[in-house]
């Protein structure tokens, strides 16, 4: 068996140009989600900054993306039972599983921040003060 990771199907595709997309998407998801969490930090310090629409988008998007993580986790279970995996390939699968877990934790942090902000958006604060917000959503 070659030392290619189980997700590298270049031999099956007949082309060495095939990219290992699954790990790339998880790594990119970690980078993007960590950025989202970083962007929410100022809003947590000044809760009246985000709008209802912004918080609703966050709450709507991240659970959908969590479903994708379940698919990725299921795939690692299939790789675990591939006969003849070398120790290096087993380590690559474990690294991928750890990345999935890390992304799951980051998404949970983003959702927790969004739910915390939901009660104190600019729209909520203005509505309770009797004023109206006319900004773009």
- 64: Cβ–Cβ under 8 A, 6 or more apart, which residues? none
Query: Quick check: 86 pLDDT over 60?
Result: yes
Q: Is residue 93 part of a domain?
A: yes
Query: Quick check: 16 pLDDT over 50?
Result: no
Q: Is residue 102 part of a domain?
A: yes
Domain count for the chain? 1
Q: Is residue 81 part of a domain?
A: yes
- For residues 6 and 79, is the Cβ–Cβ distance under 8 A? yes
Q: Is residue 36 part of a domain?
A: yes
Q: Is residue 134 part of a domain?
A: no
- For residues 58 and 43, is the Cβ–Cβ distance under 8 A? no
Q: Is residue 12 part of a domain?
A: no
pLDDT for 68 equals 81
Query: Quick check: 109 pLDDT over 90?
Result: yes
Using alpha carbons only, what angle is made at residue 118 by residues 108 and 31, rounded to the nearest 5 degrees? 35
Q: Is residue 115 part of a domain?
A: yes
Query: Quick check: 17 pLDDT over 60?
Result: no
70: containing domain: 20-129
Q: Is residue 118 part of a domain?
A: yes
26-81 residue pLDDT tens:
889 899 999 889 888 888 888 777 888 888 888 888 777 777 888 888 888 888 88
CA dist list (Å): 49 to 56, 109, 121, 126: 14, 19, 6, 11
Per-residue pLDDT band at 22 (split at 50, 70, 90)? low
Average pLDDT, the chain: 77
């Amino acid at each position: 068996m070659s030392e290619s990771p189980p997700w590298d199907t270049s031999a099956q595709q007949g082309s060495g140009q095939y990219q290992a997309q699954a790990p790339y998407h998880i790594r990119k998801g970690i980078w993007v989600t960590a950025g989202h969490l970083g962007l929410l930090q100022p809003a947590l310090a000044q809760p009246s900054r985000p709008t209802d629409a912004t918080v609703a988008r966050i709450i709507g998007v991240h659970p959908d993306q969590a479903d994708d993580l379940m698919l990725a986790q299921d795939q690692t279970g299939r790789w675990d039972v591939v006969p003849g995996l070398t120790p290096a390939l087993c380590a690559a699968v474990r690294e991928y599983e750890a990345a999935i877990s890390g992304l799951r934790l980051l998404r949970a942090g983003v959702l927790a921040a969004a739910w915390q902000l939901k009660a104190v958006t600019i729209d909520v604060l203005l509505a309770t003060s009797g004023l109206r917000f006319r900004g773009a959503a």
